[in-house]
Amino acid sequence: MQRYQNYVLGQWIDGQGVETPLYHAITGQQIGEASSAGIDFGAVLEYGRKNGYTLRKMTFQERGRMLKALALFLLERKEKYYQISALTGATKIDSWIDIEGGIGNLFANASLRRQFPDLPYYVDGSAAPLSKNGTFIGHHIMVPKEGVAVHINAFNFPIWGMLEKIAVNLMAGVPAVVKPSEYTCFLTEVMVRDIIDSQILPEGALQLVCGLGRGILDTVDARDVVTFTGSAATGKLLKGLPRISEQSVSFNLEADSLNATILGEAATPGTEEFDLFVKECVKEITIKAGQKCTAVRRIIVPENVLDEVQNAIATKLASTKIGDPSQEGVRMGALATKLQVERVRANVELLAQSQQMVFGHLDDFEVHGAEKNAGAFFSPILFRNEKPLQATACHDIEAFGPVATIMPYKGMEQAIEIAKLGKGSLVSSIVTPSNQEAVEYVVGAASMHGRILVLNKDCAKESTGHGSPMPLLTHGGPGRAGGGEEMGGKRGVLHYLQRTAIQGHPTTITAITQQFQVGAEMPEANPHVFRKHFEELVIGETVFTHKHTVSDADIVNFANVSGDNFYAHMDATSLEGTIFERRVAHGYFILSKAAGLFVDPKKGPVLLNYGIEEARFTKPVYPGATIGVRFTVKEKIDQEKRSPEDIAKGIVKFLVDVYDETGETVALATILTMVKKLKDA
């Protein structure tokens, strides 16, 4: 009998006894067993905290490259995971969402490194002036928490559920302890073995618990972060543990919810949107056999097309083959376990007390290529509720399987009211060709939904669908959905960082943030900064340029070259009622002239200038004004080589401060340059 192990304390170990027998969801045959009994979880968490030092010391650039390397490594081995995923009852599409969707999450989070500094910590926002003369300022930094991320996942996504979470905490520099569902942990275990063998992650960055994990939260403390994905009832139970509140442990709850999809009144039968709606509903009922926290549970349609929508969905469900996904034509597999079949059946029976079952049967359905009673099979069920404002069980009871309820609405205001009866959802969607309907629904329903998909024929080909949360967008929702957020691009990474306010002199704050702060010391660069390689540049060093007196000829010549003949520059008779005293120099001339002043033209380490950020024109420049530039090294960001032949280089941001004869700033900008390194690393 295959014994699935735990990876903790730097080694693979068995738990005591057998906590969970593991079964093939299609055949019902036992495929293994798992246990985490006897594990000292206090030691496991402390091991992660102690060994997390390596992760915390890595820069965001290094962590991002690490995630990318891991994603490429796992992608090469994906076929192995597909074979094992089939044991969970998953179809090829189900497995694709779980496996390649999870690996895609690693890629997406790896790309976030471009939004972070080349430091182990993040500099948040802008400096705050705290004194009259500018010698005392404030800022914020965010450092990795010194605990572990404890991830407790539901059974429906044993790969995606792990990777979408660890991608974020690893990017932040925080190690993880992953506890997948004991029922599908065998798939997670196989991937974790590959991850450990790859040696891409530092030791202690990832630990795995395959059994029940009883006691895993008993020793969490304020340094740790706990995330839970699963039922609302279990999530609330865990979040309410005394240890969580006593230690003020950050707890992110992402709970299964009664997600709704709305057919807009403009999406009448015969439109592409009507057909898209039917297709999306059927997909959400059958993919993963409805075992998605984001699956559609409530189908809300205009009352005048209730019968047509019902018939269209039922017709497509009737043609959906249930069975062994390896068999030709099978489009829906089994639920994860027979226990889940029992739970879904019980909730279907409760729902049937107040609404009509119009498609499907609890016992009378056909299974292809497998024995119905041996596997964890369940028929798609479609209920009809003609009075959703009175018969409210469908807004309270979730059957976590291929089950949905169709219901009518009168006007968009009522559709929004019905959607909100779910008391908070992870996702909602509206299918409509009308932007007016889309605006009305989104603005009206957003307060009770974590994500809203607006689907029409224009985006359908590339839309990821109602049920697919995306790595760069938040995943979570208010109320019943748990009130949490995960993923969300940079937002998700920040969840694992501690924000701390820092105060001091601008020179000190510059040293801490590694970003030049106005008012800090500006030692004169010698030689010119364009003569220095990436490693040689120091934050704060400055080129003080020669000066130039702006003339009428400058303005005329720039207008001729640029074609910008805006009246304020060219027609002194049109300035009455404006803020200008006389014709004014073009702002872009000021920046162009600034470049002429600060650039050292000889060939050197600077490879190119590829952008301008935060350009501001702060004071009019009239003919006769004399301008100079303070050109300061603002920030440095390392950059990896894309190939062995690529030039070793980094990105340097320079602050361009253009000032006039009074010493007052007239223009500010940040330019981005690509600078060669000394070493071909």
Mapped onto helix, strand or coil, the DSSP state of residue 639 is strand
pLDDT of residue 489: 87
DSSP state of 27: T
Structural Rg of the chain based on CA atoms = 30
Q: What is the mean pLDDT of residues 41-56?
A: 95
User: Hey, what's the torsion of the CAs at 77, 79, 85, 86, to 10 degrees?
Assistant: -170
Structure tokens at 268: 């009448």
Question: Do 223 and 368 belong together in one domain?
Answer: no
Say if residues 556 and 608 touch (Cβ distance below 8 Å): no
Residue 451 lies in a domain: yes
Domain of residue 399, residue span: 259-470
CA-to-CA distance for 337 and 343, rounded, in angstroms?
A: 10
State the total domains in the chain: 3
CA-to-CA distance for 375 and 401, rounded, in angstroms?
A: 15
Question: Do 237 and 293 belong together in one domain?
Answer: no
pLDDT tens digits, one per residue of 169-203? 999 999 999 999 999 999 999 999 999 999 999 99
Residues 6+ apart with CB under 8 A from 345: 362, 378
DSSP string, 374-429: TTT----EEEE-S-TTT--GGGT----SSEEEEEEESHHHHHHHHHHTTSSBS-EE
Residues 6+ apart with CB under 8 A from 36: 6, 15, 19, 179, 209, 210, 211, 212, 213, 214, 216
CA-to-CA distance for 71 and 27, rounded, in angstroms?
A: 32
pLDDT at residue 477 greater than cutoff 60: yes
Distance from the first to the final alpha carbon of the chain: 49
CA-to-CA distance for 56 and 144, rounded, in angstroms?
A: 6
Question: Do 271 and 220 belong together in one domain?
Answer: no
Question: Do 269 and 233 belong together in one domain?
Answer: no
Residue 526 lies in a domain: yes
CA-to-CA distance for 237 and 634, rounded, in angstroms?
A: 49
Catalytic residue status for 254: yes
pLDDT of residue 664: 95
DSSP string, 355-375: SEEEE--SS----BSS-TTTT
Question: Do 168 and 36 belong together in one domain?
Answer: yes
Number of Cβ within 10 Å of residue 152's Cβ equals 23
CATH of the domain at 643: 3.10.129.10
pLDDT tens digits, one per residue of 204-213? 999 999 999 9
H/E element holding 616?
strand 606-617
Phi, psi (degrees; rounded to nearest 5) at 384:
-125, 125
Q: What is the mean pLDDT of residues 429-447?
A: 96
Q: What is the mean pLDDT of residues 524-548?
A: 95
* Average pLDDT score over the chain: 93
In the chain, what percentage of residues exceed pLDDT 90? 82
**pLDDT category of residue 410 using cuts at 50, 70 and 90:** very high
pLDDT at residue 680 greater than cutoff 80: no
Choose among 383, 469, 466: nearest CA to 428. Answer: 466
Q: How many residues does the chain have?
A: 681
CATH of the domain at 306: 3.40.309.10
Residue 219 lies in a domain: yes
Question: Do 391 and 324 belong together in one domain?
Answer: yes
CATH of the domain at 47: 3.40.605.10
pLDDT tens digits, one per residue of 93-124? 999 999 999 999 999 999 999 889 889 999 99
Question: Do 59 and 103 belong together in one domain?
Answer: yes
Say if residues 426 and 453 touch (Cβ distance below 8 Å): no
CA-to-CA distance for 114 and 64, rounded, in angstroms?
A: 9
Question: Do 247 and 265 belong together in one domain?
Answer: no
Instruction: List C-alpha distances in Å: 504 to 139, 196, 404, 501, 542.
Output: 9, 43, 58, 10, 21
pLDDT of residue 677: 93
pLDDT of residue 558: 95
Question: Do 33 and 159 belong together in one domain?
Answer: yes
Residue 477 lies in a domain: no
CA 297 to chain centre: 24
Catalytic residue, chosen from 281, 293, 437, 486, is 293
CA-to-CA distance for 103 and 429, rounded, in angstroms?
A: 26
Residue 507 lies in a domain: no
Structure tokens at 338: 């027979």
Catalytic residue, chosen from 254, 265, 541, 635, is 254
Residue 483 lies in a domain: no
**pLDDT category of residue 610 using cuts at 50, 70 and 90:** confident
**pLDDT category of residue 19 using cuts at 50, 70 and 90:** confident
DSSP state of 180: -
Structure tokens at 50: 């102690």
In the chain, what percentage of residues exceed pLDDT 70? 100
pLDDT at residue 681 greater than cutoff 90: no
* Residue given tokens 């984001």 in the structure block: 294
pLDDT of residue 481: 85
**pLDDT category of residue 488 using cuts at 50, 70 and 90:** confident
pLDDT at residue 1 greater than cutoff 80: no
Give the HSE-up count for residue 31: Cα atoms under 13 Å, Cβ half-sphere. Answer: 18
pLDDT at residue 404 greater than cutoff 80: yes
Residue 482 lies in a domain: no
pLDDT of residue 483: 85
Question: Do 370 and 459 belong together in one domain?
Answer: yes
CA-to-CA distance for 274 and 37, rounded, in angstroms?
A: 52
Question: Do 241 and 265 belong together in one domain?
Answer: no
**pLDDT category of residue 572 using cuts at 50, 70 and 90:** confident
Residue 615 lies in a domain: yes
Question: Do 228 and 305 belong together in one domain?
Answer: no
Catalytic residue status for 185: no
pLDDT at residue 392 greater than cutoff 90: yes
> Alpha helix (H) ranges present in 111-231?
160-172, 185-198
* Residue given tokens 């991850």 in the structure block: 195
